[in-house]
Amino acid sequence: MAAVNEAAGASGLVGRNLVDKVVVRAGNNALTVEKGGRRILYLNEGVVEQANHGMLLREAAHELVHAQQYAKLLGKVGDVDQARSAFLVSGCSYRYAADEFVAETLAQRRIQKYLGNLSNSTLDWSNDYISTWRSIARARRSYR
Amino acid sequence: MQLFPNELALANLKGEISEDERGYCSVDEAVEWLKELSGLDFGKNVARWEEWVHSQNKKIPSKLADY
């Protein structure tokens, strides 16, 4: 999909090295890794159809950071099954919250640098997302 | 859209996140998480939790409406 390739380029990445397939669906955005290692980037159809260009690129860039996080895990453990297990963390975990605020922070920086600016609504949403997950991560770190 | 914590917890309560996805947690964990986030206790009552999440102004329709 063009937006994912553009977001990858804006992030200094090569999309096909990080993602095997892009799927537009009714559900939430996600980067999943199937058994066997196929990496699928899902984008919400409402975002693809209605969001402005900056928001769409930011959403794609966010999932690409998760693809980078998986690639880093794979490089570390060297085994697809182990890397996949480590990547598919529970939403209730510290790791999930930490990965979310890192992914959004990087996505926002990368797309803002690429486009020169983001709309106020996109920036407000993104900042809210970062601060919310950061506060969750901080709370969870204390009882990790 | 990426999901805020309350949205992710609700999606898990509704069974919308598969075990093969990052962010999955059990229904019981989702309920505990919603209770922690809200200070409320609606048990496994999806409708009540949906009402609460929508009241938090972080739902998809309101986000998209701004663009």
Identify from A85, A92, A99, A120 which residue to disrupt to test chain B contact, counting B C-beta atoms within 10 A and taking the largest count: A92
Position B65 scores a pLDDT of: 35
Report d(CA A53, CA B67) in Å as an integer: 10
- Name the residue with tokens 């997950």: A133
At CB < 8 Å, which residues of chain B contact A? 1-5, 7-9, 11-12, 16-17, 20-25, 29-30, 32-33, 58, 60, 63-64, 66-67
* H helix or E strand, kind and range, residue A77: helix A53-77
Taking an 8 Å cut-off on Cβ atoms, the answer to whether B22 and A31 are in contact is yes
Taking an 8 Å cut-off on Cβ atoms, the answer to whether B21 and A88 are in contact is yes
Taking an 8 Å cut-off on Cβ atoms, the answer to whether B23 and A62 are in contact is no
B61, pLDDT greater than 70: no
Q: What are the sequence ranges of the domains in chain B?
A: 5-65
Confidence of residue A142 (pLDDT cuts 50, 70, 90): confident
Confidence of residue A39 (pLDDT cuts 50, 70, 90): very high
Assign residue A51 a region: left if phi > 0, alpha if psi is -120 to 50, beta otherwise? Answer: beta
Tell me what percent of the residues of chain B surpass a pLDDT of 70: 84
Residue A2 half-sphere exposure, CB side, CA atoms within 13 Å? Answer: 2
Summarised one tens digit per residue, pLDDT across range A18-29 is 999 999 999 889
Question: In this complex, which of A46, A52, A90 lies closest to B25 when CB atoms are compared?
Answer: A90
Summarised one tens digit per residue, pLDDT across range A41-87 is 999 999 899 888 999 999 999 999 999 999 999 999 999 999 999 99
Position B57 scores a pLDDT of: 65
**Which tokens belong to B24?**
């999955």
Q: Rounded to the nearest 10 degrees, how much is the dihedral formed by the CA atoms of A115, A121, A124, A130? A: -70
Confidence of residue A143 (pLDDT cuts 50, 70, 90): low
Tell me what percent of the residues of chain A surpass a pLDDT of 90: 88
Identify from B6, B31, B59, B67 which residue to disrupt to test chain A contact, counting A C-beta atoms within 10 A and taking the largest count: B67
Taking an 8 Å cut-off on Cβ atoms, the answer to whether A66 and B21 are in contact is no
At A30, the amino acid letter reads A
